[in-house]
Structure 1
Amino acid sequence: MVIGSLFVGHGAQKLFGWFGGSGLDGTDRVMAATQMYPVRPNSIAAGLTEAGCGALLVAGIATPAAAAGLIGVMTTAIRTVHGKNGPWNSNSGWEYNAVIIAALTALVDSGPGSPSFDAARGRVRSGPGWALGALIAGMAASTLATQLGRRNAPRSGEADEAVPSDAAA
């Protein structure tokens, strides 16, 4: 519930500017800076993935799929922002993202627990195979998203109309 709730908030920061977030315009600027084009659809997709998959984790619904979505977002953050900074969070590195990925993988392995909707319906999918599957699916989705983002990047001299005009600020 903790990880899921925090991701709901993180998604709301991206989408609506709640909880001190920058909203879609600020998220667009980050997407442009990290070569995630087209920026607005990627901003919306990141925010919806975080909020939606976080909500699914809180409720214990489709835990492997929810974890895979969040693993994809965290892997993309490592690939586009944190990877070049080394491991330590104090240097804006990737350690925090890696810990979240590990926690999500462990959650899928252990399952969502008895108070979950999946358990109530007898649909718990857990264990090492499901955990590995969620990890692979999240990483594959990240690879696809980052490659498509770079391929869709504006060429030198082209204007990027999807980034707000105050992006240079």
Structure 2
Amino acid sequence: MRASPKPAADTPARPAVSAGDCGLLLIRITFGLLMAGHGSQKLFGIFGGEGLTATGKGFAALGYHPGTVYAAICGGSEFLGGMGLALGLFTPLAAAALIGVMINAMVTVTAAHGLWETQGGVEYNLCIAVVALAIAAIGPGQLALDRPFRWGKGGWREAAVALCLGGIAAAIALSL
């Protein structure tokens, strides 16, 4: 039996953390913290937000009753989903939370404006949902708290979990 050849001395060893891992971390932190901040606007009234009571009135005007409960669910989903993606923690569930909120936003708020309407079209919410789904599919990378777990590697199953759970949550909210 022949032994495998040793790598050439001039072949660089793969770094423990690649440029792709750092790029993915940058996307996760930026995207995740912005989404968490958006949820904080609804929940806590910080970063220029109106807070839970005023946001609840807005949700009630959109047909979500009781509005404050739905505002809390939406704000909590954005906050926890955003923090989960930023930290790379429970990545498929974090992605599902954001996907579910964005499906609801597309159906109830932006669908009537079309794709690129300047008055708030679907494209913004669609981009958020797609980025969250892509992170679930790719995995959070080496610089994530999920790294030691199976779901921390990403894959078809993780993407399917994120999309299905987000879709189910959206369907439940829209049907009530």
Please give the TM-score of this superposition, normalised by the length of structure 1.
0.82
Structure 1 residue aligned with 2:31: 3
Quick one: which amino acid aligns to residue 109 of structure 2? V
1:11-160 to structure 2, matched below 5 A, reads 11-119=39-147, 121-123=148-150, 124-148=152-176
Shift of 1:122: 3.4
**Does the aligned pair in 2 maintain the 1:89–1:96 contact within 8 Å?**
no
Residue 47 of structure 2 aligns to a residue whose secondary structure is helix
Quick one: which amino acid aligns to residue 122 of structure 1? F
Cα separation, partners in 2 of 1:126 and 1:12, compared to 1, 3 Å: same
**Does the aligned pair in 1 maintain the 2:133–2:162 contact within 8 Å?**
yes
Moved more, 103-112 or 132-141: 132-141
Residue 105 of structure 1 aligns to a residue whose secondary structure is helix
Quick one: which amino acid aligns to residue 64 of structure 1? P
**Does the aligned pair in 1 maintain the 2:88–2:145 contact within 8 Å?**
yes
Shift of 1:44: 1.1
For residues 98-152 of structure 1, what are the alpha-carbon distances to aligned partners after superposition, in whole Å with 9 as ceiling and x for unaligned? 1111111111111001010111x3341511232122112111211101111xxxx
Residue 108 of structure 1 aligns to a residue whose secondary structure is helix
Please give the TM-score of this superposition, normalised by the length of structure 2.
0.79
Please tell me the root mean square deviation across aligned C-alpha atoms, in Å: 1.3
Aligned length: 147
**Does the aligned pair in 1 maintain the 2:138–2:153 contact within 8 Å?**
no
Structure 2 residue aligned with 1:156: none
Quote the Cα distance in structure 2 between the aligned partners of 1:93 and 1:70: 18
Structure 2 residue aligned with 1:155: none
For residues 2-27 of structure 1, what are the alpha-carbon distances to aligned partners after superposition, in whole Å with 9 as ceiling and x for unaligned? 11101110011001111111111221
When Rg is computed on C-alpha atoms for both structures, the one with the higher figure is 2
**Does the aligned pair in 2 maintain the 1:50–1:70 contact within 8 Å?**
yes
Quick one: which amino acid aligns to residue 70 of structure 2? N
Quick one: which amino acid aligns to residue 101 of structure 1? A
Which consecutive unaligned segments of at least 5 residues does structure 1 have? 149-169
Quote the Cα distance in structure 2 between the aligned partners of 1:63 and 1:127: 11
| Structure with a larger share of its residues in helix | 1
Which consecutive unaligned segments of at least 5 residues does structure 2 have? 1-28
